[in-house]
Amino acid sequence: MSAAPAMTPTSGESARHDDSGDQVVGARLSDRLRRWRPFLAAAALLVLVALATLLTSPRTSKVPYAIDNPHDDGARALAELLRDEGVDVTNVESTDAALNAAVDGATVVVLNAGQLSFSERWQLAQVGQNVVVLGALYQNLSGLTEVTSKGSSADEGTTLKPECSDPDAVAAQTLAGSTGSVDLEYVEDAVGCFPVGQNTYAYATADLDGGGTLRVIADPRIVTNAKLTTAGNASLAIRALGHNERVVWLDASRLGLVTTVWESPLRPPWLPVLMLLGVIVAVALAFVRGRRFGRLVSEDLPVVVHATETAVGRGRLYRRAGDRARAAQALRAGTALRLGRALGLPAAASREELLQATERAGGRPTTQIDHALYGPTPANDQDLADLAVHLEQIESEVHQR
Amino acid sequence: MYLTMRTVWLLAAGAVFVLLQPRPATALAWTALVALLVTVDVVAAPSPRGLRATRAVARSVRLGETTTDTVTLTNTTGRAMSLRVRDAWPPSAGASGERRELNIPAGRRSRMRTSLTPTRRGDRTADLVTVRVRGPLGLAGRQASLTVPARLRVLPRFSSRRHLPSRLARLREMDGRSAVMVRGAGTEFDSLREYVVGDDVRSIDWRSTARRGDVVVRTWRPERDRRVLILVDTGRMAAARLDDAPRLDAQIEATLLMAALASRAGDRVDAVALDVETRAQVRGVSGPALLGALADAFAPLQPALVETDWTLVAATVEASLSQHAFVVVLTGLDGSGTNTAMLRALATMARKHTVVVASATDPGLERLRSRRDDAESVYTAAAAERDLVELDAVRTRLRRAGVEVVEAGPGALPPALADTYLALKAAGRL
């Protein structure tokens, strides 16, 4: 019994001391790890480089007027300039965060102020801190201030002069046109600079209800990277925004956008988390069920060739070729062979002998048998089938007697 | 490594925390905790490398019978092991109960038994023994496959042995019978006995009658110690399926019955299986060992999809037989494809020996021939008819060359061959 070693304790004992006694297929985990070490090291290096690149490269965006947008319509240049001046510029995603920062002494820069709700604007006015509104065209500022937005503009060719006492505006000296303006007609203590038309200004300051100063730059484009170097844009923007140690950047048009699948008001809050857990459980289940308990055992099976396959194939060839002559001949030859054997005729018996013997045995007239056995080739498939049946009948009649 | 369903349930239990704290971090933290537990469990599980396995299985088993494979696992580690074991065998080994739970204390052994009921003749090689060692928490564990070689030889069914008693009875009848019909050189004088009514008067031994005063007849017994050579063709003809088994299986059955009968009759039986080369041979074994040796040698035979080399067949006969012998050629006769090399080789053999060609015919051909319902089946019937006619021509040519032809369906071939052997023996033609 070569296949079955003796089952004595000594055999197990000797196997333990044997170097090759380990029957487990495959190398040890430590050996495998050692073999994979170059690949593992390369993968780790790759991950490290990727992480380092991700962390060190500044995050940029393409959002207009955003402080991390380095493109023409961004405000990254302004943010960097302010940072150079020692002003901390950060983005905030919600009004609450902006209000909290304002309480801590930060200037709130509001873009698209009209998209804040009335109460949010009111809260902003009451917080008692400097607020800068960038862009007044088509923006509703009610609640925040009495300053109203006007559509009158000055094209880029026009050089606007401050014509006011505001030090920031005076320092800026000129502006090259302004798209949109503000109206200060019903506002007390408001100062309007860079007049665009009758009682409309490109820049204005006013006091807020809760204390603090509101500054409105009617045309937001003066803070963009593309326009910052034009005329006194940089000067005005830095001075207007740089009154405090800290600036928070609030884009009111993007407040509702940064929602995630976890914070949708349409579903109960636990549902998506439960679905996440469900996915994890499914993965674990797949691993439990999918892990094979040992490899598949293969087996060489014998070929399946039916012995009748050649006959079936040849029959199909006859049919496709419509070879009725050959088919009929084969049927007749087979019947004649069996008839001759059943009637005890020698293999060399003549046609006449066979016909007469068959007539004697079966009782059919010779002419019929002759027609079936030696008649013409059937004209169509139906005749061939009839002939086949006829031959079988003759044969069975002979066998019955 | 592997995970158990317990891990899945534990993960699912995290749903409670998710409902209490519906945040993604909850689910992730729970998953991380479970992953940590699983890691601990895998690390804490005893190493399967501390297992020693042996297999004990019978060397061979007859097809249709059941045998047991015993796997013994020895735990050489210092810790108890909770195991799940799979004793892997190929599908046609018919293994049942090959997965078992075992608990083996430190330093002890445990056995598991797999019952094997093979469904096909040939050698079955056992595959790996796979073990799963569970960790202390039951969440996960280690999986490993152990090399434990074993082989089980599945012998032919030899269902035709039920025909053996009746043939042996006929053989005994021949023994001691007054074989008066034949007075050839082949019959041997056995003994004298008293005349009984019915005995042929020509067998009366007048000299002994005169001496004894009673009428005494001479009796004969069949020849003994004849050489019988069985050749099994394992070429492409043996691969063809007759009903649901290859022709080779019918040929092996016929070989076994023929060998059993001939060895009981006192003849010396050699058997060779060959196609383009010799695949198996049993020579010079006699007595009760013959059948076992034959079954063992022929069990792993598989038909080869090649044209049989008939020159090799002729050369084998030439080399192994120096005087007149009884040669049985087990092959497939095929009307359309019979080659002249085969006819020539058989005819040459028949000049020197008594040659019987035994061919298992296809019962399907007769079925095809008699199906004449529609045009398509009539064409097929014609093709089958033509095959039969050609087969008849081949048979005639073989008979004319002095070769005996035995044709029967796969189940009927062994007894038919045995009957031919007995008839030839009775006729003293061996």
Q: Encode chain A in three state secondary structure.
A: CCCCCCCCHHHHHHHHHCHHHCCECCCCHHHHHHHHHHHHHHHHHHHHHHHHHHHHCCCCCCCCCCCCCCCCCCCHHHHHHHHHCCCEEEEECCHHHHHHHHHCCEEEEEECHHHCCHHHHHHHHHCCCCEEEECCCCCCCCCCCCCEEECCCEEEEEEECCCCCCHHHHHHCCEEEECCEEECCCCCCCEEEEEEECCEEEEEEEECCCCCEEEEECCHHHHCCCCCCCCCHHHHHHHHHCCCCEEEEEEHHHCCCCCCHHHCCCCCCHHHHHHHHHHHHHHHHHHHHHCCCCCCCCCCCCCCEECCHHHHHHHHHHHHHCCHHHHHHHHHHHHHHHHHHHCCCCCCCCHHHHHHHHHHHHCCCHHHHHHHHHCCCCCCHHHHHHHHHHHHHHHHHHHHC
CA distance B319 to chain A (A): 32
pLDDT at residue number A277: 92
Contact call for B372 and A389, based on CB within 8 A = yes
CA distance A22 to chain B (A): 6
Pick the residue from chain A with its C-alpha nearest to B111. A7
**pTM score:** 0.68
The beta-carbon neighbor of A294 closest among B57, B145, B150 is: B145
* φ and ψ at residue B367, rounded to 5 degrees: -65, -45
Residue B258 · residue B226 · CB < 8 Å: no
Contact call for B11 and A281, based on CB within 8 A = yes
Nearest alpha-carbon partner for A391 in A322, A331, A345, A312: A331
Q: Give the residues of chain A that fall short of pLDDT 50.
A: 1-20
The beta-carbon neighbor of A3 closest among B57, B143, B246 is: B57
pLDDT at residue number A62: 83
Predicted confidence band at B188 (pLDDT cuts at 50, 70, 90)? low
Window B:330-349, CB contacts with A under 8 Å: 332, 334, 336-337
Instruction: Specify the residue for token string 């158990």.
Output: B4
pLDDT at residue number B187: 52
pLDDT at residue number B231: 95
Q: Which residue has the higher pLDDT, A65 or B336?
A: A65
For residue B71, count other CB atoms closer than 10 A to its CB.
Answer: 26
CA distance A259 to chain B (A): 14
Whether residue B133 lies within 8 A of chain A, CB to CB, comes out as: no
**What residues contact B411, with CB distance under 8 A and at least 6 apart?**
B250
For residue B84, count other CB atoms closer than 10 A to its CB.
Answer: 18
pLDDT at residue number A373: 86
How far is residue B70's CA from residue B55's CA, in Å, rounded to a whole number? 6
Give the Å distances, CA to CA, from A280 to A274, A386, B41: 10, 71, 19
Q: Residue B185 pLDDT > 50, yes or no?
A: no
pLDDT at residue number B148: 92
pLDDT at residue number B336: 61
Q: Residue B203 pLDDT > 80, yes or no?
A: no
Residue B365 · residue A334 · CB < 8 Å: no
Window B:253-292, CB contacts with A under 8 Å: none
* φ and ψ at residue B85, rounded to 5 degrees: -120, 140
Q: Residue B414 pLDDT > 70, yes or no?
A: yes
Find residue A149's DSSP bridge partners.
A182
Average pLDDT, integer, range B283-294: 90
Average pLDDT, integer, range B171-192: 57
Q: How far is CA B186 from the centre of its chain?
A: 34
pLDDT at residue number B103: 93
Q: Which amino acid is at B221?
A: R
B242: which chain A residues are within 8 Å (Cβ-Cβ)?
307
Nearest alpha-carbon partner for B79 in B134, B11, B150: B134
CA distance B398 to chain A (A): 15
Whether residue A303 lies within 8 A of chain B, CB to CB, comes out as: yes
Predicted confidence band at B208 (pLDDT cuts at 50, 70, 90)? confident
Compute the mean pLDDT over every residue in chain B, rounded to the nearest whole number: 88
